Amino acid sequence: MNTTKNKSLRSYNTFHIEQSVETFIEINHENELLKLIKDKNTFSKPIYILGGGSNILLTKNLEGILLHNRLKGIEIINEEDEHVFVKFHSGEIWHECVLWSIKHHLAGIENLSLIPGTIGAAPIQNIGAYGVELKDVFHQLEAIHLQSGNRKIFNRIECQFAYRNSLFKTTEYKNYFITHVVLKLNKTPKYKIDYGDIRKTIDEDFQGEINIQNIAQAVINIRKSKLPDPAEIGNAGSFFKNPVITEAHFLQLQNNYSSIPHYPADNGVKVPAAWLIEQCGWKGYRKNNFGVHPKQALVLVNYDNASGDEIWNLSQQIIESVSQRFNIQLEREVNVW
């Protein structure tokens, strides 16, 4: 367990925002976490849990303690006729878990290739892409309560998964440190290739041969062609959620925008946030060292030494313009600290 005072977080967030934290603690084993919890004075100040730093926007120096999740390990814990249950330690990098699954001929998460972050953060956000969400393969997770030290196992229902949301985004359950995630992966693939350009990319790059390896690589190729590499341009991927509106609201919009893209969703119609933002003229916008990526309107970028406040203010301007034009309130997908 390594502890550092007044630690710079620039290299620990994919926006590359320069902020610091009062106390930075690297957690390499859950026993280290339990030892901290036994000291009742440890968590008397605010607590932050950091994985890959790919879904946060830092707007200030952080007071209190930041726990950097470095728990590593992957193991098969059960096997059935059609499924294999795999236990991933929560500090494992998500994309590495996808590659591990493909290497072991286990299907279900190939469409989620190249999503940044750790597997411990995946259920918090209920990550998703190209017709697949984490909840589709989720079995259970184990977490430690940071005040009591008690362990608790949460099943799929208890996690209350929703679109880019879960129980762990609520105030009470933010006090849990997720240590393990168990996924129920398929021995026999159930291909989902009719989302985005997956089928087209497989046809062009792999002569139409469909398997989990080619699907994963197709997704990787698509993402690389549309999304900036955080190692080169600071960003946190999709900054906004795709809004779900009522059918009546959608029909009103369709009268004025006949080509408005849309998808069926629970309790309404999902409209791509990128389309809404682009219609408002923000795609490719740049001011000083920050802006909106020219290839993907959902991605706000830090070109060089922008502040978190500058990114935040830009996101607020985008929200207001979309609201005024479409009467739709965009929600931020990133966590703002």
User: Which contiguous run of DSSP H or E holds residue 253?
Assistant: helix 247-256
With beta carbons less than 8 A apart as the criterion, state whether 201 and 73 touch.
Answer: no
Class of residue 40 by CB neighbours under 10 A (exposed 0-12, middle 13-18, buried 19+): exposed
What angle, 0 to 180 degrees and rounded to 10, lies between the N-to-C axes of helices 212-226 and 198-206? Answer: 110
CA distance linking residue 252 with residue 330, whole number of Å: 18
Can 323 be counted among the known catalytic residues?
no
CA distance linking residue 163 with residue 160, whole number of Å: 10
Residue type, 54: S
Q: Which of 70, 164, 223, 332 is catalytic?
A: 164
Can 164 be counted among the known catalytic residues?
yes
Can 223 be counted among the known catalytic residues?
no
Whole-Å CA distances, 246 to 243, 256, 266: 10, 16, 10
> Which structure tokens are listed for 269?
């119609």
What is the b/e burial string over 125-144, where b = at least 16 CB atoms within 10 angstroms of the residue's CB?
Answer: bbbbbbebbbbbbbbbbbbb
DSSP 8-state symbol, 63: E
CA distance linking residue 18 with residue 4, whole number of Å: 16
Q: Which of 238, 310, 315, 332 is catalytic?
A: 238
Q: Show which residues are catalytic.
A: 164, 238, 333
